[in-house]
Structure 1
Amino acid sequence: MTTEPTEIIVIGAGIIGVTAALALRREGHVVRLLDRKGVAAETSRGNAGAFAFPEVEPISAPRIMRKAPKWLIDPLGPLAIRPGHALKIAPWMLQFWRNSRPDRFEATIAVQSGLMDHSRAALERLVPLVDGEALLRRDGQLQLYEGRASFEASLPSWDRRRRLGIDFSLFENRDAIAELQPGLNARFTHAGFTPDWLSTVDPALWTEHLAQAFVAAGGIIETADIRALRQDGNGVEVDTAEGPRRAAQVVLAAGAWSHKLARSLGDRIPLEAERGYNTSFASANVDVRMHLTFGDHGFVISRLGDGIRVGGAVELGGLTLPPNYRRAEILVEKAKAFLDGFDPQGGKQWMGYRPSLPDSLPVIARAPRADRVIYAFGHGHLGLTQSAGTAELVADLVARRDPRLALAPFDVTRF
């Protein structure tokens, strides 16, 4: 069943909201995109810029959970919980731990793999429509390991990728690794290369480029501080600080703030703000040829325009505690030690809030108590990666047609 074009309000001008708004406008709907700060003003501005389609394992992987106790006692380690947030996050952590069980872990991988395949195809459909190829890099990703023990611990993950048809190559020779990426410290003796890993030259520029395409197609972008949602017989009322707005349907894609608005519809969703830190350098004094992942240390180095971005790690600290930029400094210190010749001068620090659910899967579904409201949030580290695929699924939901991917695993009622 397909509806006639209707007025839609999309809440959130990050990468999920902007891409969804563009998809809806291209289908003929009158679309108004609302955000309290503007396009790519939050997490979509400062992420690592990766379309990480091969990364199908949830964060709650059993091997990660084995490392978690050691990491959690280190306030500057790859995974940390801020003391002021520990009690509040305990229920979320319990669900997170339950999702590390082997049966749930494997089930999540199967679902995530399907969404990744769909999202990659959706991105390739989107790129020519917005003349976006110049904003992409197709350089691949290099996952680095310190010693044989670390490498062998990763082999089950690589075997899983092989079964899923993901292309990769493994290297156990430092000379072979140096051909792909020169200048790495000699401690990195093994590596895995995934050629199908894409990146954007800058995640903010990519989001802004899509927003410009949306406006050029007749879409409307406005600044508004949204307070609550209410559905009645005639549509949805959006309560904002600037006055009420109405729409036939609403797409809620407000990232780490989405659960606060969902609460106004009676839904309590275990969404956690997973804080990520990075430092960006406008010019690089080292030859970084692709996205570099240092899994044992929980951070990455990515190319950003003519420079690089050093960031990652996980800090569970909510939305209100002040940033701890010492975490960003630690990552830069490690990058200096790992990449020969790197001179970290003039970096700009940043912190963002990844919207994370305890099973590492997003919510893409109609609100259970308000069928004119569509939820599209909770993508964690994978918002940019899954944005084009999510946008097509949102368009299917708005049109009330059969979705291109089974959506039961993404339903909010799973919690």
Structure 2
Amino acid sequence: MKSAGVRKIDVAVVGAGIVGICAAVNLVEAGRSVTLFDRTGVCEETSAGNAAAFAFSDVLPLAQKGMMRQLPGWLRDPLGPLTVSPSYLPRLMPWLFRFWRAGWVSNHDRSVAAQVALMRLAEQEWLDFLDRSGTRTMLREHGALELYESEAEFRAALPGWDVRERHGIAFRHVEGTELAELQPGLSPRFVKATFVPGWKNVSDPKQLGKAIFEYGRTLEGRLQFEQRSVAQVEANSGGGAQLRFADGETLSCKTLVIAAGAWSHLLAAQLGERIPLETERGYNTTLPASSFDVKRQLIFPGHGFVITPLEGGLRVGGAVEFAGLERAPNYARAKAMLAKAQAFLPGLDREGGREWMGFRPSLPDSLPVIGHARLSRDIIYAFGHGHLGLTQAAATGRLVRDLAGGNVPPLDLSSFSPRRF
């Protein structure tokens, strides 16, 4: 029988994906006592099955990267790079309108500048964080190849590379012998590629998240985890916040961090804030490591997926499906990507794969929400990173620490404001 009293803690972080983990550990390093809450476990959902990339050069808004131009054709293909469940389309229309508007030239430069600033902080914070947590051995620095099947596709990508060049991002275009050396065994259908030497990957995103959590647990016992479903959040009139769990227990905390990924906007709505977050459902298949000798992450922009070599396998995944949080997975999408992967790498062995689906929390302008709730400065939002949750997690954790401590953040957070919409 539960006590009638309300349990009190210092910091509650809702969501134990990689963003929540990094926020929690940063706060523990700053001397706070933190409890992570998650319905499944530590790094067990979307953060477990991502493409394992530190994509610090991926600074272009999705709406700008040719997606609106290709959108009509993609929508006609239910197994293509982007699809929308017909029954979900009416609900998605306001988000798609904002997505289209985010690609306007007047919005583009502002979004890119904000993303570049966050990426620079992310790279610095991740390298420091990996060293502090003893996980630097999980970093892979082999770069990435973005591959093109025609001269026209390559030329269409050049404006985006020009933007990256203006922001000091290193790359070089390759073809012929150099392309074959960077990735032997590619189909000859790929006539050109862009090699990004600063692109980094990790050996396994799930194991990295769990290792960082365990590092946090060594810091004087100030990091705890509880497998709980949070049903409701509210701001306390005198400061702090309250959480009510699905089992009826209520808890009070001095600081609340909402980092619950694709479910975060539902909690923000309880605090009176309408944040246009949508769920990009992504699919992958993880094959045995012996399936093909992939040297570095391979990116297929015309098909919306990547192939990533992991420590224990080869991950083929990506694409976008808008169908909400409740619809059953459509693993035909994973199978379609795997069939393409075999065509692109003719020697690929497709046997023995494990299929997976996860929920990416996506905002129309491709920037996350990082900032205080309107009702209380004791409530901090840290969500909506889309495809870049792993990439930007360490920077977000640092920014959460600064916000919670009343310190001036190292970059302007106005572009990430919860109220920018």
- Calculate the TM-score normalised by the size of structure 2: 0.96
**Are the equivalent residues in 2 in contact too, given 1:215–1:221 (CA < 8 A)?**
no
CA RMSD of aligned residues (A): 1.0
Query: What's the CA shift string for 1:120-158, capped at 9, x where partnerless?
Result: 011111111011111111111000001211111111111
Per-residue deviation, 1:282: 2.7
Per-residue deviation, 1:62: 5.8
- Calculate the TM-score normalised by the size of structure 1: 0.97
Aligned equivalent of 1:230: 234
Aligned equivalent of 1:52: 55
Query: What's the CA shift string for 1:47-69, capped at 9, x where partnerless?
Result: 00000000000111162211111
**Are the equivalent residues in 2 in contact too, given 1:265–1:370 (CA < 8 A)?**
no
CA distance in 2, matches of 1:152, 1:104: 23
Which of 80, 87, 92 aligns to 1:89? It is 92
Which residues of 2 match residues 11-22 of structure 1 at below 5 A?
11-22=14-25
Aligned equivalent of 1:3: none
Aligned equivalent of 2:176: 174
Query: What's the CA shift string for 1:343-367, capped at 9, x where partnerless?
Result: 1001000000000011110000000
- Secondary structure of the 2:189 match is coil
Give the partner amino acid of 2:325: L
CA distance in 1, matches of 2:288, 2:185: 20
5+ residue gaps in structure 2?
1-8
Which of 154, 158, 164 aligns to 1:155? It is 158
Which of 132, 136, 140 aligns to 1:133? It is 136
CA distance in 1, matches of 2:59, 2:188: 29
1:146–1:239 CA distance, 2 compared to 1 (3 A) = same
Give the partner amino acid of 2:55: A
Query: What's the CA shift string for 1:51-90, capped at 9, x where partnerless?
Result: 0000000111162211111111211111111112111111
Give the partner amino acid of 2:256: V
**Are the equivalent residues in 1 in contact too, given 2:242–2:252 (CA < 8 A)?**
yes
Aligned equivalent of 2:203: 201
**Are the equivalent residues in 2 in contact too, given 1:62–1:102 (CA < 8 A)?**
no
Per-residue deviation, 1:316: 0.9
Which of 238, 245, 249 aligns to 1:240? It is 245
**Are the equivalent residues in 1 in contact too, given 2:14–2:258 (CA < 8 A)?**
yes
Asked whether 1:28 is paired with 2:31, we answer: yes
Which residues of 2 match residues 57-136 of structure 1 at below 5 A?
57-61=60-64, 63-136=66-139
**Are the equivalent residues in 2 in contact too, given 1:174–1:186 (CA < 8 A)?**
no
Which of 214, 221, 236 aligns to 2:225? It is 221
Per-residue deviation, 1:216: 1.5
Query: What's the CA shift string for 1:308-358, capped at 9, x where partnerless?
Result: 000011111110111111100000000000002101001000000000011
Aligned equivalent of 1:272: 278
- Secondary structure of the 2:306 match is strand
- Secondary structure of the 2:115 match is helix
Asked whether 1:256 is paired with 2:262, we answer: yes
**Are the equivalent residues in 2 in contact too, given 1:284–1:306 (CA < 8 A)?**
no
Aligned equivalent of 1:291: 297
- Secondary structure of the 1:155 match is helix
Aligned equivalent of 2:4: none
5+ residue gaps in structure 1?
1-5
Per-residue deviation, 1:100: 1.1
Per-residue deviation, 1:268: 1.4
Per-residue deviation, 1:405: 1.0
CA distance in 2, matches of 1:364, 1:273: 18
Give the partner amino acid of 2:151: R
- Secondary structure of the 2:127 match is helix
CA distance in 1, matches of 2:65, 2:129: 35
Moved over 3 A (4+): none
**Are the equivalent residues in 1 in contact too, given 2:127–2:136 (CA < 8 A)?**
no
The number of residues matched between the two structures is: 409
1:50–1:62 CA distance, 2 compared to 1 (3 A) = closer
**Are the equivalent residues in 2 in contact too, given 1:60–1:105 (CA < 8 A)?**
no
**Are the equivalent residues in 2 in contact too, given 1:62–1:101 (CA < 8 A)?**
no
CA distance in 2, matches of 1:74, 1:295: 16
CA distance in 2, matches of 1:38, 1:255: 14
1:259–1:333 CA distance, 2 compared to 1 (3 A) = same
CA distance in 2, matches of 1:328, 1:12: 26
Aligned equivalent of 2:168: 165
Asked whether 1:389 is paired with 2:395, we answer: yes
Which moves more between the two structures, 312-321 or 62-71?
62-71
- Secondary structure of the 1:261 match is helix
Aligned equivalent of 2:376: 370
Give the partner amino acid of 1:401: N
CA distance in 1, matches of 2:74, 2:32: 48
**Are the equivalent residues in 1 in contact too, given 2:81–2:303 (CA < 8 A)?**
yes
Query: What's the CA shift string for 1:8-29, capped at 9, x where partnerless?
Result: 1111000000011000000100
Asked whether 1:402 is paired with 2:405, we answer: no
Give the partner amino acid of 1:11: V
> What percent identity do the matched residue pairs reach?
45
CA distance in 2, matches of 1:309, 1:377: 25
Per-residue deviation, 1:380: 0.1
Per-residue deviation, 1:283: 2.4
